[in-house]
Homo-oligomer: A and B are copies of this chain.
Amino acid sequence: MSEDRRLEVLRAIVEDYVQTREPVGSRMLVERHALGVSPATIRNDMAALEEGGFIAQPHTSAGRVPTDKGYRLFVDRLSTVKPLSSPEKRAIQAFLDEAVDLDDVVDRSVRLLAQLTQQVAVVQYPSLRRSAMRHLELVQVGERRLLVVIITDTGRVEQRTLELAGVPTDDVVAELRARLNALAVGQRLPQLVPLLDTLPQAFAPDAQPLVRSVTEIVEETLAEESEERIVLAGTANLARGSSDFSHSLGPVLEALEEQVVLLRLLTEMAEDAASVAVRIGHETQHEGLAETSFVTTGYGAEGNALARIGSIGPTRMDYPATMASVRAVARYLSRVLAG
């Protein structure tokens, strides 16, 4: 009883099941793959695989279906990457190069990935805390309001309106703007906090409340976990293979709208920043996503991933293809942001 052949059988089951969406039986298997043995032998192997928890039967007299554990083994040891075709690559590049600002880049990336994988795509905006300050602008709006605009080196723009206690003179605002920029531009944002705290001392006592409230709101903006923004596309693809999910796709849609859930997953998966990470079925630890898998990877400069991009589909997805698409889009996205 060859161990190798057993793995081969598992791979064949996964591939066939992904393609046909039908439980696969021993006869079909020998017909479609050159395994060189009879159905009966396959059945023995299948029994062993089922014993090990890699496959299961939906009901007694049906073929076998991979379990989450089976997919996991497939992804870890059996799959070989499918590189994209060069026209595809060119199309990706061309499409992303047309983008006109960060919102546009993100939007295009997520749509592109949804299109390529025929699944739901998700892109996380570049994390503020991993970006550097490009420019900080103060705009006076009415008498007692100040608009604080933060622009990062990735092109992300955050703004906050500040209600002031007093009416500042133009001079003070201008000086504050100048000093802030002198201090902050080019700094990674987390390193900024101590620097900002030194700032009030440089100003006249009566300007200090203003300075303090501005530095406070900047710090607040950068600290906010909640300012992690994510964008989805391709939810319509969920409904495509009509019976792709055993129950309705309501729970799935709900989970996808819960940004908290997605953010948790993306953060958890950030451990393997460089490579493509995969969460299969129940590994997502979320009820509504029990029948979906996540394929994500980081983007941004090497070693300092800014954020993540990924694709979400049924556990019964084409993992090699999805992984290739995710990686490709992440790569071009990184390039566009760097360029």
Q: Which residues of A contact B (CB under 8 A)?
A: 100-103, 134-135, 137, 139, 141, 147, 149, 151, 155, 157-161, 229, 233-236, 238-240, 242, 248-250, 253-254, 256-257
Contacts and interface: CB of A to CB of B under 8 A. Distances in A.
Contact of A141 (B134, B141, B249, B253): B134
Nearest to A100: B160
A151 B134 contact: no
Majority secondary structure, A binding face: mixed
A135 B155 contact: no
Q: Give this chain's copy count.
A: 2
Contacts of A233: 257
Given A134-B147, A139-B134, A155-B161, A250 B257 contact: no
A240 B160 CA distance: 36
Contacts of A151: 139, 147, 149, 159
A244 to B, nearest CB: 10
A158 B103 CA distance: 9
Top 7 closest A-B pairs, CB basis?
A239-B250, A236-B253, A236-B254, A135-B139, A101-B159, A236-B257, A157-B157
Nearest to A253: B236
Contacts of A103: 229
A137 to B, nearest CB: 5
A149 B147 CA distance: 13
Nearest to A255: B236
A248 B236 CA distance: 11
Contact of A149 (B157, B234, B238): B157
Contacts of A149: 137, 149, 151, 157
B250 A235 contact: no
A155 B161 CA distance: 9
Given A151-B139, A157-B159, A161-B101, A257 B235 contact: yes
Nearest to A234: B257
Contact of A253 (B160, B239, B248, B250): B239
27 contacts: A100-B160, A100-B161, A101-B159, A101-B161, A102-B159, A134-B139, A134-B147, A135-B147, A137-B149, A147-B151, A149-B151, A151-B159, A155-B159, A155-B161, A234-B257, A235-B235, A235-B253, A236-B250, A236-B254, A236-B257, A238-B253, A239-B248, A239-B249, A239-B253, A240-B250, A242-B248, A242-B250
A134 B240 CA distance: 45
A135 B100 CA distance: 20
A226 to B, nearest CB: 9
A103 B254 CA distance: 22
A150 to B, nearest CB: 11
